Amino acid sequence: MLGRADLLEVALRLLAATFIGAAVGLDREMRGKPAGLRTHALVSLGAALLTLVVLRLGPSNVEHVDAVSRVIQGVIAGVGFLGGGAILKTRTGPEMVQGLTTAATIWIVASLGVACGCGQWAASLMAGCFALMILIIGRPIEGFVHRHMRRTQEPEDTHPWRSPIV
């Protein structure tokens, strides 16, 4: 049976994973993506739970690095299938593939869940903040770069050193 301090530690790790996953999912939700707040929160919580359970198996004085490593591998592989379901190939518009960012966010929240489950607070917080920064300011930066690149590029057939093929 877990003592009060252990219960608090377990609750804190699971709660942190849920909130970090939900924060990333909120961005996807606000953009109208198919995997939103609940999906991301659940993926992060599930990854944290699996990691935490394996860490707490057996005697507390024994390191379970090999078992945790296998759980992490399983989580990442399993989440890859979930993320793969978010990726769609289309034949319309300039982009042929949609959903890559959502798939990547599902993968990162699983990783954040694992970090929370292991009690890696600094890594979880920094990576969560970086992920949110990428999601929030990444789109405007991409737009700026694309607009700037279109202005500076000339059509291929107008270059002076190229002659049209007759």
Q: Distance (Å, rounded) from C-alpha 39 to C-alpha 34?
A: 9
| Positions of the chain with pLDDT lower than 50, given as ranges | 166
Model confidence pLDDT, tens digit, residues 143-160: 888 888 876 665 555 555
CB atoms near residue 20 (< 10 Å): 28
**pTM for this prediction:** 0.78
